[in-house]
Amino acid sequence: MADFAGLVTLCHKLEETPARLEKLRLVAEFLRALPAADVATAVAFLTGRAFPPSDPRALGVRWLPAVDELTAGPPLGFGDVASAFAAVAETQGPGARQSKEHLLRQLLARASAGEREILARIVGGEMRTGVSDGLALEAIAQMAGASIGSARRAALRLGDLSAVAALAVTGGAAALAAAPVRPGVPLLPMLAEIAADVDEVLAAHRGRSALEFKYDGARIQLHRDGDRVAVWTRRLSDVTRSLPDVVEIAREHLGRAPFILDGEVLALDPAGRPLPFQELMRRFRRVHRVDELVRAMPLALYFFDCLMADGRSLIDEPYELRWEALAAVTGGRYLAERVVVTDAEAGRAFFARALEAGHEGVMAKDPRSPYEPGGRGKRWLKLKAAETVDCVIVAADRGSGRRRGWLSNYHLAVRDGEAFADVGKTFKGLTDSQFAEMTSRLWGLATADDGYTVRVRPEVVVEVAYNEIQKSPTYPSGLALRFARITRIRDDKGPGQATTLAALGALYEQQFATKGRAV
């Protein structure tokens, strides 16, 4: 077992190294020198995670308790830290906070001052060494003597950098190239770009497109392998315990052979009407007294893709074949409303029907397209009635008047490389209870406070509707959202899935297809 002090030394070197290539060399050499059993854990820690992305456990704390004593003993190892984090995550119930703090104090008592600093960064989710997921993946490729393309493909199939690292260290380049799709290991979901209209869809899909209702729910990935059934969210969080009704459907109504299905769930009220997205998120977070919420808030389930059927991966097969496999696995039940169109009029009619049914719009998919985990492009397009983008809250102003006491004017930003670029502010869209909940949440993410504006770690993603994108002399991004309003809090998305500045720029340009351009 490697000494944790080695990670501390590496982090300090990384902080002193501005050049990306040198950072890459340092990380690759560090991973190469570790015992194989520690590599996956090291990758999680280096990227600011107490556990790998696909691991459903969470520490339930955001900072370390104060501790003065230092206990002499053997050097702290990676396994010691991993075991302590596991014990903290598994501590639940009455008195959990005190028990968690006791476990962390025991860990800290064995740690040096430098080790305590790095432990605090891991617990806080911010390493601040310049090691992004992308750089870590390149380091894994170098460690294994593999191409970055092979490593990326493995990452898309495994959906977890630590799993990629474990495969690389045990099997090398060949193992990465042959990274399997297997039930029980969630895949990053395929994503869609925004299309302006049905004509654009048909042009992109060479005159023929499969249209599906775009439900206002939450993305899930359902896996079955014999008696083992698991459900993951879009962010690869395991929500199997929170969705026993979905598990029951898998066991009672779907095929027994290994499968992986991509779908959407909606929460329903007692009359069968869809509930707001925020209500649905209560189902995803509930892990105690789940049966009560299942009865009070049943789910509607819609599948739209099949990534594996009968134990065989289908991600490289065309959409049409995957849909046939989906129909076979489900027996034709729980399928998204769908039609294949070859003319714009039929597409517009289907789009209108989706809106009349109360859905967001439609998804348009190229019948010839393979499934690209984590990929986004014109093979999948989405048509929505209202223009929205996904922004990250990077700061909030203190409220005044009836909003006094709340952080209620949110600074919105989009992704710009590995940073975030401000594109507007809004206090519109949330209810009073949501303002209160968001205030508590943002204070927990606060990094600076000047008495008026509170800067926060960029973790909360919100869907933002707007009337227009404008050029902005105020924001360094050069763009601003006009009449921005939050339509929902996207707890199913991470900051890395927010809209990019490049995508926002493209949406800005698209406006001039129907508008004049000011000189």
| In contact, 265 and 218? CB cutoff 8 Å | yes
Question: CA–CA distance from 305 to each of 18, 426, 438 (Å)?
Answer: 43, 36, 34
Question: CA–CA distance from 513 to each of 196, 204, 343 (Å)?
Answer: 10, 17, 21
Structure tokens at 75: 């050097």
Q: How far apart are CA 420 and CA 212, in angstroms?
A: 32
Structure tokens at 337: 């409303």
Question: CA–CA distance from 75 to each of 6, 78, 81, 482 (Å)?
Answer: 11, 10, 11, 56
Give the active site residue among 23, 100, 214, 382: 214
Q: Which residues of 199-220 are buried (b: 16+ CB within 10 A; e: fewer)?
A: ebbbebbeeebbbbbbbbbbbb
Q: How far apart are CA 325 and CA 305, in angstroms?
A: 9
CA angle 14, 17, 19 (to 5 degrees): 120
| In contact, 73 and 110? CB cutoff 8 Å | yes
- Give the sign of the dihedral formed by CA 134, CA 412, CA 192, CA 231: positive
Please provide the size of the chain in residues: 519
Q: How many CB atoms lie within 10 A of CB 483?
A: 11
Structure tokens at 420: 């975030």
**365 is an active site residue:** no
- Give the sign of the dihedral formed by CA 101, CA 396, CA 486, CA 126: negative
| In contact, 500 and 414? CB cutoff 8 Å | yes
Of 45, 103, 31, 111, which is closest to residue 75 (Cα–Cα)? 111
Output the DSSP codes for 397-434. EEP-GGGTTSEEEEEEEEEETTEEEEEEEE--S--HHH
Q: What is the largest CA-CA distance in the chain?
A: 76
| In contact, 170 and 355? CB cutoff 8 Å | no
Instruction: Tell me the CB-side half-sphere exposure of residue 127, using CA atoms within 13 A.
Output: 25
Instruction: List the beta bridge partners of residue 347.
Output: none
Which residues participate in catalysis according to the annotation? Answer: 214
